[in-house]
Amino acid sequence: MNTHTVPIGLVPGPVHDRLEALSRAKSWMGWAGYISPAVLETAEFEYFAIRNQTTLFDISPMHKYRITGPGAEAMLNRMVIRDVTRIAPGRVGYVMWCDQDGMVIDDGTLFRLGDADFRLCCQELMYSWLLDAGWGFDVQIIDESHRVAGLSLQGPTSWSLLKEAGLDLGDMKPFDCRQVEPGLMISRTGFTGDLGYELWTGWDGAGALWDRLWAAGRNWGLRAIGYVALNIARIEAGFIAAGMEFQPVHAARRLHRGRTPIELGFGRMVHWDKGHFNGRRALLGQLGKGSRYSLVKVDIAGFKPAHGALIYHRKRREVGYVTSGVWSPTTKRNIALAELKAPYGTTRTDDLWVELYVNEEGRWDRRMLPLTIQDKPFFINPRARATPPGPF
Amino acid sequence: MTQNDTYDAIIVGAGHNGLTTGCYLAKAGLRTLIVEKNDWIGGAAVSRSLHDGWTYSNCSYVCSLLRREIVRDLDLPRFGLQVIPYEGGATFTGDGDYFAYMSDHDALRREIARHSPRDVDAYDRFAQTVMRQCRFIRPFLLRNAPDPTSLHPRDLGELAFLVKQAHGLGARELGETIRFWTMSIGDFLDEHFESDLIKAHLAGSGIIGTGLGVYSPGTAYVLLHHYMGDVDGSIGAWGFARGGMGAISNALGQAFAEAGGEIRTGAGIDRFRVRDGKIVGIALENGDTYDAPIVASNMDVKRTFLRHVDRACIPDDFHKAVTRFKIRGSSAKINIALDRMPAFPAAPPNAPFLRGDLHCSTSLAELERGYDDWKDGRWSAEPYFDMLIPSQIDPTMAPAGQHMMTVFVQYAPYDLEVDGVRSGANWTDGARDALADCVYEKMQQAIPDIRDRIVHSEVRTPLDIEREVGLTEGNIFQGELTFDQLLFNRPVPGYADYSTPIDGLYMVGSSSHPGGGVMAAPGANAAREILRRAGRGRKMPRLAS
Amino acid sequence: MSGVFDAVVIGAGHNGLAAAATLARAGMRVLVVERAKTVGGMAKTVDWGAGAKGPEIAHLLYNLSPAVTRDLKLSLDTRSLPTIALSPDGAHAVMDGASLIFAAGGMHPQAADYAALHERLCRFAAFLGQLSDKPPPSLAGGLASLRDIGGMARLGLGLKRMGKADMREFLRVILSNAHDLILDELPDGPIAGALAADAVRGVWAGPRGPGSVFTLLYRMGQGGGAALPIGGIGAVTDALARAATTAGAELRFGAGVASVEVEADTVRGVTLEDGTKIAATAVLSSLAPLPSLHLAGAAHFDVETTRRARKVRAKGTVAKLNIVLKSAPDIPGLTDAQTAGRLIVAPSAAYVESAFNPVKYGAVSKHPVIEAVIPSLTDPSLCDGDRQVLSAVVQYVPHTPEGGWTDAGRAALTRRIIDTLAAYMPGLPELIEGKTLLTPADIEHLTGAPGGHWHHAEMSIDQLLTVRPMNGMARYAFGVSGLYLCGASAHPGGDVTGSPGPNAARRLLQERSA
């Protein structure tokens, strides 16, 4: 009898039994091979819990890699576009890394756990890339994806909830991370643009951690959520997502689908003066030649989410498309992220229109809706950055 | 009593390419005859009942290369063609393990990780490269290969298309493309993977049907030849034709008949009749003669010109080029009737990957050694084979509960060496049995009781395939897929446009661009060229994108 | 010595020296740093002991670029050697240019076919040879670069000048395998064997491997002959060294480079193993890509570049056996003059292919292919008295056999080579006074060539021309601004051609003047 069988299809994550019990919608989706909730009850109430109370979302399917050793800082500094030496131990940096042509491979969060100890969390499989990037440096790279579980606790009452769970993090600033108990690391990070924390523990300890938070959450309106609600919040916050705002270049099977950090609006994050990093020469070339695209935040007339819609200049020339679009329940605006071909979105920003096909109970309607480009995230709230945070 | 008659066009050989050409000529209004030496049509794409109750795809056995443009254009599904994709595949090791290729992406990742965690994303990179190369090459399949020495506007046009496609790649990708086209499958896989087993599983497609080893430059391209097929738009997917490969030929035959074409089986050609450098018709072995201003040969270029055309009718250069055209027998086939589904003790019961291609070669070195044996005129001591049990998903192939297995064996030489003499005549019944025995021995890695399951088997050596189908040396591609015999060099430099030195005689088989596999592209491309030259180019539908 | 050099060249092999000479002649202030005590790299004349000198590794010139000889005003004294295809039956043949005769005199039945083939190959080789003294065509912007279009057009013109039939034949065979090309014209035997052996000398391939026509043509790029430099192959590097120093370049020996210094993505100089820092605005490395990359540090290259550099194939297959003989060996069937020729043990193309098989699995050929020459017969200055030196290039020998090189393994290989030669030179074993075996591992140790590979990087089509040594790095510039590759791993490739060095130097000069 064989012992080699690998499961086919999606497999349960570390807190799946909890999620299964909470799921009324039975609406699941696949995330890196795991069963992940799209919606547990209703997306709308789950969304409002993010902005009003606190929400819990299992982020264990993220890929997590541990990079340690005397060469870790130099190795990562050569890999990502920003200067890793400026991320102090106990801090987290949002990072992006490119291929040789300056096209974004993926983005993620880099946790500096010590001088020579990092954890990289990202969407895409990155193990062999990291091994290649680590070649020539004195580093060890371990794939921790199936060892480390993560729970994302997001919302205005999350600090209070943690305090009730016995975890007082009043002095923790945004992008801080620290080991709070043996086997439990917490970072003040998230994907909602609001106050929130991510809790990292061993795969097998995730259930107990969930229960602990769940118990503490009774007085703070804690609600488990699915991806659909989270996605609304991240668009409000103006965060980009792999596969939506950019195609991770290693996964793109067609040519010329890559985008540079500059084109994605992260030009200011590129630390040109730190020495060589992957794709630097190509990106310098783009600085000289100019970008091909620009990713912008847009506000669209009307109420219908414009996800995937084409964008026209003067209603005639096709100049881009909406990469992510939702109705924002908090700001009451029809918001979206959109990619425009240069020079639209940079020097030419007027007379832009979204083409939308709307089906209202069996009647299709084509609408051309004006859009305006925004330079700030749609949702900004000082509570997200306050230290210590407010109770709610 | 001999017959004779006059046609607009005659095609010699009812293989899938000959039938395809026939369909397009007949649909364009030409009175078209296809003559076939066997009593059945299909050439190497046939389903035959050689043991009561069982149907064998006894030559080619799987399809994916069959161009969907042609399937759609000729409406083949209406004539019963149904292609069902496989669900995976596996390579079994000698120690009770295996590597399974799973169609489920998540499961595939887990399976790769079981053998090598770093090969998981390496596989994605490998797939990306191969898919990009497939995308690059596909537009060329249904076009003529440009002659770079020609200044003819048509050639320049095709050349310009090539340059445009290449330009679109950009410098980096162009460099990668040059490398991919010229490197060996072994080196290509070594660049990507660390697991020997995974490499061995993927390498087979680089050598199947060729006289090359996994470390012979150019075999990465051959991989493409097996990957660029598409079953329902999914590149690289392979499928079974319901009812066996003969279903393709039968559908083409019916489409041809519906278009008004005529097929005469049991009608082997004696010679192509040429007068003043122009084709005038054919003469059959039985003495019948037919006249036509257009004659197309579905036979390979060597068989056509070295056996059936008067030497005096072709120029010396062309004759020399044909003589040196390399067609090397390198594979054998075993078709087996099984009394029940054999047990694969290493695999989970009812594993979906058992419904795909199964192998037992576990390293590139093992595959390369197999090639070394072949070079010296022996079959591989540890042969590579590609085995499938299509009756698991096709109920028409075997009686209920019983199964049909097809085993493609690489390498087996055409001119077997015995006591220092290399000759096809050395393929005695004893040699045939010894080859099968060698295959079963190796197959026990996957199926320990294989010998007990066999109800009937048919061993087909390169010599057998040559004798029955008419393929020189039993080569499945009608000519090696090496650089010197691809694109504008196929089959003869200067004659890559399906024409020959004999006015009105065309080559429509796999000897011509783009080459072998049950693809039907040479047949369709040749039809386009024939119709264009006959002033009926507009009757040919536009297939190329 | 202080101040900033315009260029530091790493390695005083023939390519490094040719690069330095080219730069110095253009007025640049150049320093060549060499780890060893003398110039030469793979092209050295060394003391073989017992009062004899001889070529250490490379021993003959096949395709030294006349442009390099001319541009650098090298004065070389060379003797052209005929090729002797040794035949097991004693009917040895002499191949000299397009002529083929039996060594014993008399018409060779394959003479006409051989002459036609040789003539055709030389035509093709000359065409390819034109490509050697300039950078490979660029892929940048597709075919957009105007200068390249000019170059391509000239190339196309050259192709057109061949005539349509030749051009077709060229395009058919260029990526093909030597085995088929040769056997389409000649029966298999010593003549086919000698050609097949020439096609694969120094490379990891058998004559059946596609691409072996290219390596054959590469070797034949300057007419297809073999020439013996008087004073040994070292005379060539000495001449290059003179050309460099005469033009003002400085040479420093015992000066291994520890690192290439890089700041702000620009080369600043090198640091020697003894800690000496040398400032320079450009560094040309005649090492292979991977060791060059190591010197600068992986941090200065893109991840993909390091991956490509690691995957550059360089599996050496050549061993060298240098033998000091008491006196000249007797080769029955050859005259004394013929004995001084280039002796090929490759009785058939099939023999060469079979010899290749074992090395794929880390073993030595049972029956090796040998190119032997007794240079002292032509150049008596190499030895005292009656002594002679026999230099044998032996294929196929793996870099490291399974279990590594042992004394027993080395002895067995030595014996196998001597036995193979003794089949044609009866009494050879008794004449031996001294011998030195260099395995590919030894050659790597001596010269730093990865895998002990003669060409630093495999000469297969996927590592040639626009993708040599690797995609995106074909035109000498090596990532960091001011860093260049100038060795055999760069276009056009290995052998003592003298071309990669000056090509790299010109690239630097061009960038400086731009």
Runs of H (alpha helix) within C130-227: 146-161, 164-173, 178-183, 190-200, 212-219
- Indicate if the pLDDT at residue C15 is higher than 70: yes
Select from B144, B158, B149 the least CA-distant residue to C165.
B149
Crossing angle for the helix pair B185-192 and B219-227, to the nearest 10 degrees? 80
Would you list the DSSP string of C276-334?
-EEEBS-EEE-S-HHHHHHHH-GGGS-HHHHHHHHH------EEEEEEEESSPPP-TT-
Runs of H (alpha helix) within C43-145: 66-71, 111-129
CA distance linking residue C65 with residue B336, whole number of Å: 61
Answer whether C302 sits within 8 Å of A278, measured CB to CB. yes
Q: Does some domain include residue B349?
A: no
Closest residue, chain B, to C212 (C-alpha):
B217
CA distance linking residue B522 with residue C117, whole number of Å: 33
Shared-domain flag, residues A87 and A158: no
Q: Between β-strands B331-338 and B454-460, what pairing exists: parallel, antiparallel or unpaired?
A: antiparallel
Select from C469, C411, C463, C458 the least CA-distant residue to C439.
C411
What is the tens place of the pLDDT at every residue in B435-481?
999 999 999 999 999 999 999 999 999 999 999 999 999 999 999 99
Shared-domain flag, residues A179 and A204: yes
CA distances from B279 to B113, B150, B276, B292 (A): 61, 25, 8, 8
% of chain C with per-residue pLDDT over 90: 89
Q: Does some domain include residue B275?
A: yes
Q: Which helix H or strand E contains A282, and what residues bound it? A: helix A280-289
Shared-domain flag, residues A206 and A187: yes
A100 closest CB neighbour out of C299, C300, C305: C305
Give ipTM to 2 decimals.
Answer: 0.95
- Which residues from chain C sit within 8 angstroms of residue A74, using beta carbons? 299
Shared-domain flag, residues A114 and A34: no
Do C512 and C480 form a contact (C-beta atoms < 8 A)?
no
Read off the pTM.
0.95
Question: What's the domain count of chain B?
Answer: 1
Interface mutation target, options C139, C295, C303, C481, chain A, most CBs of A under 10 Å:
C303
B114 closest CB neighbour out of A4, A8, A250: A4
C366 contact B CB<8A: no
Q: What are phi and psi of A36, to 5 degrees?
A: -130, 145
Do C83 and C226 form a contact (C-beta atoms < 8 A)?
yes
- Which residues from chain A sit within 8 angstroms of residue B119, using beta carbons? 128
Would you list the DSSP string of B377-391?
TS--SS-EEEEE-GG
Instruction: Please give the pLDDT value at position B194.
Output: 96
Question: What tokens were used for A288?
Answer: 């000289």
As beta bridge partners, residue B220 has: none
Q: Which of A112, A143, A174 is the last residue of a domain?
A: A143
Shared-domain flag, residues A163 and A179: yes
Shared-domain flag, residues A83 and A220: no
Instruction: Please give the pLDDT value at position B86.
Output: 84
Do C55 and C320 form a contact (C-beta atoms < 8 A)?
no
pLDDT-based confidence at residue C156 (cuts at 50, 70, 90): low
Question: What's the domain count of chain A?
Answer: 3
CA distances from A310 to A295, A329, A338, A377, B450 (A): 14, 23, 9, 22, 59
By residue range, what is the domain housing residue B296? 4-47+65-82+242-326+477-539
A1 contact B CB<8A: yes
Q: Does some domain include residue B223?
A: no
Q: Between β-strands C7-10 and A34-39, what pairing exists: parallel, antiparallel or unpaired?
A: unpaired
Question: What tokens were used for C371?
Answer: 């190119």
Shared-domain flag, residues A38 and A159: yes
Query: Nearest CA of chain C to the CA of B72: how many Å?
Result: 35
- Indicate if the pLDDT at residue C149 is higher than 50: no
Query: Nearest CA of chain B to the CA of C163: how many Å?
Result: 9
Closest residue, chain B, to A124 (C-alpha):
B121
Answer whether C265 sits within 8 Å of A281, measured CB to CB. yes
DSSP state of C154: H
A8 closest CB neighbour out of B107, B125, B345: B107
A78 contact C CB<8A: yes
% of chain B with per-residue pLDDT over 90: 80
C139 closest CB neighbour out of B174, B218, B482: B174
DSSP state of A354: E
- Which residues from chain C sit within 8 angstroms of residue A129, using beta carbons? 303
Average pLDDT over residues C372-394: 96
- Which residues from chain B sit within 8 angstroms of residue A251, using beta carbons? 124, 128
CA distance linking residue B225 with residue B222, whole number of Å: 5
Answer whether A253 sits within 8 Å of B346, measured CB to CB. no
Q: Does some domain include residue B28?
A: yes
HEC sequence for A181-234: ECCEEEECCCCCCCCEEEEEEEHHHHHHHHHHHHHHHHHHCEEECCHHHHHHHH
Instruction: Please give the pLDDT value at position C153.
Output: 56
Q: Does some domain include residue A342?
A: yes
Select from B147, B36, B20, B49 the least CA-distant residue to B499.
B147
CATH of the domain at A42: 3.30.1360.120
Task: Choose between A366 and A3: higher pLDDT.
Answer: A366
Would you list the DSSP string of A315-336?
TTEEEEEEEEEEEETTTTEEEE
A255 closest CB neighbour out of B173, B345, B348: B173
A166 contact C CB<8A: no
A125 closest CB neighbour out of B114, B120, B127: B120
Q: Does some domain include residue B358?
A: no
Cα B274 vs. chain centroid, distance in angstroms? 30
- Indicate if the pLDDT at residue C145 is higher than 50: no
- Indicate if the pLDDT at residue C150 is higher than 90: no
What is the tens place of the pLDDT at every residue in B37-81?
999 999 999 999 988 999 999 888 887 778 889 999 999 999 999
Sheet holding C83-85, edge to edge: C99-102, C93-96, C83-85, C342-345, C369-373, C388-395, C318-325, C432-438
Q: Does some domain include residue B59?
A: no
C81 contact B CB<8A: no
Interface mutation target, options A66, A100, A125, chain B, most CBs of B under 10 Å:
A125
Shared-domain flag, residues A83 and A115: yes
A327 contact C CB<8A: no
Q: At CB < 8 A and 24+ separation, what contacts does C154-160 make? A: C155/C130, C155/C131, C158/C127, C158/C130, C159/C127
- Which residues from chain A sit within 8 angstroms of residue C303, using beta carbons? 78-79, 99-100, 129, 132-133, 135, 278
- Indicate if the pLDDT at residue A221 is higher than 90: yes
Task: Choose between C137 and A344: higher pLDDT.
Answer: A344
Query: Nearest CA of chain C to the CA of B325: how many Å?
Result: 10
The dihedral sign for the CA sequence B530, B534, B535, B540: negative
Q: Does some domain include residue B265?
A: yes
Query: What value does the mean pLDDT of chain C take?
Result: 94
What is the tens place of the pLDDT at every residue in A120-141?
999 999 999 999 999 999 999 9
What is the tens place of the pLDDT at every residue in B411-442?
999 999 999 999 999 999 999 999 999 999 99
CATH of the domain at B273: 3.50.50.60
- Which residues from chain A sit within 8 angstroms of residue B348, using beta carbons? 2, 5
Instruction: Please give the pLDDT value at position C147.
Output: 47
Do C171 and C185 form a contact (C-beta atoms < 8 A)?
no
What is the tens place of the pLDDT at every residue in C314-368?
999 999 999 999 999 999 999 999 999 999 999 999 999 999 999 999 999 999 9
Q: Does some domain include residue B183?
A: no
Residue B114 carries which side chain, given as an amino acid letter?
Answer: R
pLDDT-based confidence at residue B237 (cuts at 50, 70, 90): low
- Indicate if the pLDDT at residue C60 is higher than 50: yes
Q: Does some domain include residue A385?
A: no
- Residues sharing a CB contact under 8 Å with residue B476, sequence separation 6 or more, in sequence order: B44, B59, B60, B209, B331, B465, B516, B517
Question: What tokens were used for B391?
Answer: 């009756």
CA distance linking residue C132 with residue C127, whole number of Å: 10
Interface mutation target, options C172, C179, C352, chain B, most CBs of B under 10 Å:
C172
Residues in chain B: 545
Q: Does some domain include residue A253?
A: yes
Q: Does some domain include residue A231?
A: no
CA distance linking residue B184 with residue C460, whole number of Å: 10
- Which residues from chain C sit within 8 angstroms of residue A78, using beta carbons? 298-299, 303
CATH of the domain at A139: 3.30.70.1400
Q: Between β-strands C83-85 and C45-49, what pairing exists: parallel, antiparallel or unpaired?
A: unpaired
Select from C413, C404, C466, C459 the least CA-distant residue to C436.
C413
Q: Which helix H or strand E contains B452, and what residues bound it? A: helix B450-453
Instruction: Please give the pLDDT value at position C144.
Output: 47
Query: What value does the mean pLDDT of chain A take?
Result: 96
Shared-domain flag, residues A29 and A167: yes
Interface mutation target, options B150, B178, B185, chain C, most CBs of C under 10 Å:
B178
The dihedral sign for the CA sequence C376, C378, C380, C386: positive
By residue range, what is the domain housing residue A199? 16-62+146-225
Query: Nearest CA of chain B to the CA of A281: how many Å?
Result: 14
Chains touching chain C, criterion 3+ CB pairs below 8 Å: A, B
Closest residue, chain C, to A284 (C-alpha):
C265
Query: What value does the mean pLDDT of chain B take?
Result: 93
Shared-domain flag, residues A81 and A219: no
Closest residue, chain B, to C162 (C-alpha):
B149
Cα A387 vs. chain centroid, distance in angstroms? 23
- Indicate if the pLDDT at residue B545 is higher than 70: no
Cα C431 vs. chain centroid, distance in angstroms? 30
Shared-domain flag, residues A80 and A98: yes
Instruction: Please give the pLDDT value at position C223.
Output: 85
Q: Which of A113, A143, A173 is the last residue of a domain?
A: A143
The dihedral sign for the CA sequence B176, B179, B180, B186: negative
Residue B123: asked if its preceding bond is cis (omega within 30°), the reply is no
Shared-domain flag, residues A55 and A165: yes
A136 contact C CB<8A: yes
Select from B319, B311, B298, B317 the least CA-distant residue to B511.
B298
Do A56 and A138 form a contact (C-beta atoms < 8 A)?
no
